[in-house]
Amino acid sequence: MSEHEYVPKSKAGKWFNDRLPLLTLGAHLTDYPTPKNLNYWWTFGGILTFCLITQIVTGIVLAMHYVAHADLAFASVEHIMRDVNYGWLIRYIHSNGASMFFLAVYIHIFRSLFYGSYKSPREVIWIIGLMIYLLMMAAAFMGYVLPWGQMSFWGATVITNLFSAIPLVGDSITTWLWGAYSVDNPTLNRFFSLHYLIPFLILGLVVLHIWALHVPGNNNPVGIDIKKPSKDTVPFHPYITIKDAFALLVFMIIFAGFVFFTPNVLGHSDNYIPANPLVTPAHIVPEWYLLPFYAILRSVPDKLGGVILMFSAIFILFVLPWLDTSKVRSAVFRPIYRQFFWILVIDVLMLGYVGAMPAEGIYLVLARVGTIYYFLHFIVVMPVVGYLEKTDPIPMSISEPVLTGGAEPSLARKVNDKV
């Protein structure tokens, strides 16, 4: 909260604010002191909020026309595409919106990794963010099942069967998830219910995510602690709102490009074939945003081992703040870690690529190398590099490099000094 106590100007505003201090909250959000050096990688929080609201609004509209029944679902989606006024537009925004949501969240996560935003005192923001990411994957998976095409059906079959790898109780859990002895109408029905629920859980977590952010305040590209408010900060409005709005417009142009020109390029044509429990498509692939994890799953020749490794790939991120031993946040001042960061980016992109390819020959080798590096990066590279690395001098304040034309060693603190 701001240092000064906010007092509404109007009498009515004061009356209301005394009873429910919403106007104080509004003033806090407007004046919120923000580091003045935030670059465009920091605009994805706002973009993600836009994505969430877009998915909720288009989703509510689609639910007015969609029928969650195994015999009717496929036809009702075609009905939306052909008969409902602007149904094609709303559905294409919703289906491409999921992809844009993940595109933005991956940039958001890698920004945090580069600038060390997950480190003390922002661990809780990071963990809430990962919970949002997990819920996003659950929502996206269940949403993909709803059109009840071939990819929907077999994607649901493969993913729910992951739980059958659990020793002893695996089969009972899988049957419980299905509500039948295979993926069937009860499965579709409950997936629809949960698909509608999850975005609102995400919305709740987003509030916590922002709340937790507003306690320590934003990290920044230099990664140093700043005094708030000071000459290193600007008020959120209008400085950050206008920057976020500009980035959002550019993002929406790309979004619209997908929706209007290549609405199906990120989907799979097999999903325009109605679900058939007797025939598995020759080449099952998940949506692009899950491919790196799919590659990890397939890189292990053992069923339970593959499932454990795939889930570990996500859950290892939760302990990241404690695996990173470096006190310096921003990779700008970490010459060694910076290189490993880019190796990780390439590694994840490569895993995504081989996840889309058949699990054989060179692709299997690449998937295994990629999986090994992925885990080495977090378990070995992060603790060891943070310990051994000689970091570059970091500036005293955000203004300093600007005013002196660079981080002069004479003006800079050494890392050994307390950061």
Partner 1 sequence: MSKVEKKVNRRDFLFTASYTLGAVGVGAVLWPMIDQMNPDKAQQALATTEVDISSIEPGKSITVLWRGKPIFIKKRTSEEIAEARAVRLDDLPDPQKDEDRVKAGKDEWLVMLGVCTHLGCVPLKDKGDFNGWFCPCHGSHYDVSGRIRKGPAPTNMEIPKFEFVDSNTIKIG
- Which amino acid type is present at position 6? Y
Asked whether position 87 contacts partner 1 by CB under 8 A, the answer is: no
Q: What's the helix, strand, coil split of the chain in %, to 5?
A: 65, 0, 30
Dihedral over Cα of 339, 341, 344, 346: its sign: negative
- Of residues 79 and 303, the one with the C-beta less far from partner 1: 303
Q: Which of 302, 315, 319, 349 binds partner 1 (CB under 8 A)?
A: 302
Q: C-beta of 36: minimal distance to partner 1 in Å?
A: 51
Q: Which of 181, 253, 261, 387 binds partner 1 (CB under 8 A)?
A: 181
- Of residues 131 and 173, the one with the C-beta less far from partner 1: 173
CB atoms within 10 A of CB 77: 23
Which range of residues in 29-37, 250-258, 282-290, 328-336 is near partner 1 by CB under 8 A?
Answer: 282-290
Asked whether position 176 contacts partner 1 by CB under 8 A, the answer is: yes
Contact 17, 24 (CB under 8 A): yes
Give Cβ neighbours of residue 160 (< 8 Å, ≥ 6 apart): 174, 177, 178, 183, 187
Asked whether position 168 contacts partner 1 by CB under 8 A, the answer is: no
- Of residues 168 and 282, the one with the C-beta less far from partner 1: 282
Which range of residues in 96-104, 138-146, 152-160, 383-391 is near partner 1 by CB under 8 A?
Answer: 152-160
Q: C-beta of 280: minimal distance to partner 1 in Å?
A: 4
Asked whether position 13 contacts partner 1 by CB under 8 A, the answer is: no
Q: C-beta of 214: minimal distance to partner 1 in Å?
A: 35
Q: Which of 14, 227, 231, 283 binds partner 1 (CB under 8 A)?
A: 283
* Gyration radius of the chain over CA positions: 24
- Of residues 302 and 408, the one with the C-beta less far from partner 1: 302
CA 195: distance to chain centroid? 17
**Binders of partner 1: how many residues, by CB under 8 A?**
37
Asked whether position 306 contacts partner 1 by CB under 8 A, the answer is: yes
- Of residues 219 and 299, the one with the C-beta less far from partner 1: 299
Beta bridge partners of 35: 233
What mask of x and - would describe binding to partner 1 in positions 240 to 279, judged by CB under 8 A? -------------------------------------xxx
d(C-alpha 176, C-alpha 246), whole Å:
47
Q: C-beta of 192: minimal distance to partner 1 in Å?
A: 14
Asked whether position 366 contacts partner 1 by CB under 8 A, the answer is: no
Helices (H), 22-122: 22-31, 44-63, 73-82, 87-115
Q: C-beta of 301: minimal distance to partner 1 in Å?
A: 6
Asked whether position 190 contacts partner 1 by CB under 8 A, the answer is: yes
DSSP line for 225-294: ---SSSTTEEEIIIIIHHHHHHHHHHHHHHHHHHHHH-TTTTS-GGGGSB--TT---SS----GGGHHHH
Asked whether position 177 contacts partner 1 by CB under 8 A, the answer is: yes
d(C-alpha 43, C-alpha 241), whole Å:
9
d(C-alpha 181, C-alpha 164), whole Å:
13
Angle at 181 between CA 177 and CA 187, to 5 degrees: 40
Give Cβ neighbours of residue 271 (< 8 Å, ≥ 6 apart): 144, 147, 149, 150, 151, 152
Q: Which of 34, 55, 58, 160 binds partner 1 (CB under 8 A)?
A: 160
Q: Which of 63, 67, 81, 162 binds partner 1 (CB under 8 A)?
A: 162
- Of residues 105 and 142, the one with the C-beta less far from partner 1: 142
- Of residues 117 and 150, the one with the C-beta less far from partner 1: 150
- Of residues 316 and 359, the one with the C-beta less far from partner 1: 359
Q: Which of 13, 121, 186, 204 binds partner 1 (CB under 8 A)?
A: 186
Asked whether position 69 contacts partner 1 by CB under 8 A, the answer is: no
Asked whether position 304 contacts partner 1 by CB under 8 A, the answer is: yes
Our CA dihedral for 110, 230, 2, 211, rounded to 10 degrees, sits at 10
Asked whether position 365 contacts partner 1 by CB under 8 A, the answer is: no
Three-state SS at 3: coil
Q: C-beta of 308: minimal distance to partner 1 in Å?
A: 13
d(C-alpha 187, C-alpha 145), whole Å:
9
Interface residues with partner 1 (CB under 8 A) are 154, 157-158, 160-162, 164, 175-184, 186, 190, 277-284, 298, 300-304, 306, 358-360
